[in-house]
Chains A and B, each alone.
Chain A
């Protein structure tokens, strides 16, 4: 392996590349999908390949292939060089990567129970047991269960003598109940939206989630939502967001705008830019003084946790919002150097056939002081909303609108009637400035977002977001008239 990787780097350097790196990635994914008691798919997926990135005359080229042979290494290296030369035909400022990176070492995701040692029977058994529980509830039209196990081995080397080897293990699972009534469709998911919760870690998390033990509850909630009162229309009120919803709020309204490539316009044609422009760094009130947000790649179970990023930069933790003030970006070597800083290790590629881009690691809202019970008791009037159902945000990450699967009215410090089709909307800094309470570490959880899209060609990243429930004042709810 190392010999082939060195061959690519040597070839690139001898052809005049100032810098080159190569990643070899071997991904094994095993998944199960169950719907209404039928096992729709048990799949084993195996993919291996390599990608070579070269910098020639200050311009980038990248090529990739599945065939890890000396001949193909040569062809792909030459193609990457040819592409870099073409890039140079329409070049901007010469790329400066800053200080060299020469990381060495091995990293393996810590797991208590290696999920790949769990038999297919036992994996399937969890989903079928949960399905049977949901099937007992009248009125549930569609029952779904999902399980995903990933083991990704990655070797990285560059022309600055870095060589790292890491194995990332992910475990994901979840159930969904959908009830259908007269012109109404309601869904409840557990433990997270859109099919599953996912973490870096082992089978111990599947045991902790206890899908069968929560199946009856979510099935009953889906049915009850059909006849629940609708979210009040066009109203401004207090909102308490559950941790699972707040995780996506952090992802969309903080995680994306702090990507420094967006700030520099690299994603302008597709994902968009950012309202957190350069001059705001260290000079902008992002939220109330209770808002503390960090980005790290070291938290246990985070989907953004690893040993090194895809430029070989070591995993680390960095403040993003400190007591409401905006203090940090997610950076690559190239973008950090433009700010005369060094990378904080956020370059990640979704596969061997994609280039690394600045991606979220674990962007998390730090816990506050409140017990959830006390926070609700402290709220005279408002709505508690949980579990994302819909999300949309503008290309600068400013105007957002979210919908949640379930809501509850808060009246005189108590949770009251269930509410369906809850939506809320706002402007990012105004919303975070209205945050006046965050729950404590007892309610804080690391949520996984395994479906973050960015880049062209498209890349799907897995990101982590720690969050506990928090309260926001004067939020516009009920955008969708019913």
Chain B
């Protein structure tokens, strides 16, 4: 780790080189290790340590960016020179509101010493147990166990300085039988919160339960989604429409629906950067303090998350959801997303279902059409037919093509337990419950 003071010194060195020009630095330190296993043994086992420095330099109203991982004096000279050269050539930017002023941050707890010091041997021990359990059942286990430390610093020439350190842990396991598989995942910033052995046992059970799957016809089915599948709904709605940029450009599922009840009144979705039950961070990549945003309340669309550029354009106040300036084209997105739990257990959801499908997970989901957030993808790692309130038999994977907005309009029950999951892309956290949905459109089969 760099630590707060060293990180501050590096930022000062960069800002000093900016001279009279306004400038902003984003410093990101990452030390990450990942143990990967397949066929019941460790086949990849890696570690990395890196620092990335990004500077946004303002030449009047012209803006230039530069990024480096070289922290020596010469590296910093080049960094600032290139940012300045890029600013000089850039036309004036009418949308950028200038650097943010000094801010006060609420301290959030997201660092765990045990996670930071977790060793390759400790990861191997946990993975070894999982592999032994799968091997004993004659099954094939694969997955990963990762741990790491991050530091993020935002500083600018107006005196703004934000420092945040965090840790992360993630365990994923897929257990494969001849014709079935089961998967579990546990994420969090305290590695000791991740019950690796019980996750492995659960994935084994799912794989055993899923053997000899039946082929069923595609069509409309009621579904019970695990939190893994619900997470996909929330992530896709986030990527394709929870940010103000998507609304501004007319491609969000929120467009023309603001203030309307378009989802079940059981649906509450919020982003809260300070909430420790997720992966909290006190400020965004401009150093603006994060605000809680209620995106959907009792099924009614409340509005998107904002950064300073979109807030200015739309006459709103930033909610502290800016991404790094190199990702400006995407606009702001939610990074610590929650769907409120209900009062029903997953078992009770199944018991209340006469005929439907229990879906463990969605896979390779992609946008088909933006305004209704129509998504296609496959089921994976366990689909079961529900008959008369029981999991009757496993079924083969299906392709679906479904509006995720319409899916959340048809939510009948929300699960009482939630699970914290880290996204494969982007690293944002989502805490999701199980859902029972009255109708979901399956459009194809696979072998």
Contact = CB atoms under 8 A, between A and B. Distances in A.
B330 to A, nearest CB: 10
Given A49-B69, A64-B49, A391-B366, A479 B78 contact: no
Contact of A91 (B42, B93, B256): B42
B69 A355 contact: no
A479 B401 contact: yes
B388 to A, nearest CB: 30
Contact of B446 (A45, A269, A353, A396): A396
A378 B266 CA distance: 55
B249 A178 contact: yes
B131 interface: yes
By size class, the interface of chain B is 35 or more
Given A185-B250, A398-B446, A124 B371 contact: no
Contact of B120 (A82, A120, A395): A82
A150 interface: no
A239 to B, nearest CB: 16
B172 interface: yes
Interface in A43-92: 43-49, 51, 59-66, 79-80, 82-87, 89-92
Interface centre among A42, A63, A456 (most CB of B within 10 A): A42
A66 B44 contact: no
B250 A62 contact: no
A62 B146 contact: no
Given A60-B44, A399-B446, A65 B50 contact: yes
B51 A265 contact: no
A35 B95 CA distance: 11
B34 A63 contact: no
Interface in A348-393: 353-355, 390-393
A90 B44 contact: no
Interface in B45-67: 45-52, 63-67
A314 interface: no
A355 B46 contact: yes
A266 interface: yes
A44 B67 contact: yes
B363 A395 contact: yes
A87 B67 contact: no
A401 interface: yes
Interface stretch (A9-17, A323-331, A419-427): A419-427
A340 interface: no
Interface string B57-94: 00000011111111000010011001101110111011
Interface residues of A, number: 80
B313 to A, nearest CB: 11
B45 A425 contact: no
A112 interface: no
A38 B93 contact: yes
A141 B249 contact: yes
Nearest to B256: A183
Interface centre among B119, B364, B372 (most CB of A within 10 A): B364
B67 A398 contact: no
B380 interface: yes
A480 B369 contact: yes
A44 B146 CA distance: 31
B375 to A, nearest CB: 9
B121 A45 contact: no
Interface string B350-370: 000000000000011111111
Interface string A141-164: 110100000000000000000000
Contact of A87 (B50, B89, B124, B368): B124
B140 A265 contact: yes
B143 interface: yes
A40 interface: yes
Given A82-B120, A355-B44, A120 B39 contact: no
Contacts of A85: 120
Nearest to A268: B142
A83 B70 contact: no
A80 B47 CA distance: 8
A138 interface: no
Interface stretch (B14-22, B224-232, B321-329): B321-329
Given A268-B142, A394-B363, 14 more contacts: A41-B65, A42-B90, A43-B86, A63-B46, A89-B124, A90-B37, A124-B89, A183-B256, A264-B39, A354-B46, A395-B363, A398-B446, A423-B368, A457-B146
B410 interface: no
B407 to A, nearest CB: 15
A204 to B, nearest CB: 23
A62 B45 contact: yes
Contacts of A458: 424-425
B123 interface: yes
A19 B361 CA distance: 40
B47 A62 contact: yes
B67 A392 contact: no
Nearest to A401: B376
A33 interface: yes
Contact of A392 (B32, B65, B377): B377
A423 B374 CA distance: 12
B120 A83 contact: yes
B430 interface: no
A108 interface: no
Interface string A257-271: 000000011111110
B369 A457 contact: no
A121 B85 CA distance: 11
Given A46-B78, A66-B51, A90-B41, A40 B121 contact: no
Nearest to B52: A47
Contact of A35 (B39, B329, B366, B377): B329
B48 A480 contact: no
Given A180-B249, A395-B378, A480-B369, A144 B329 contact: yes
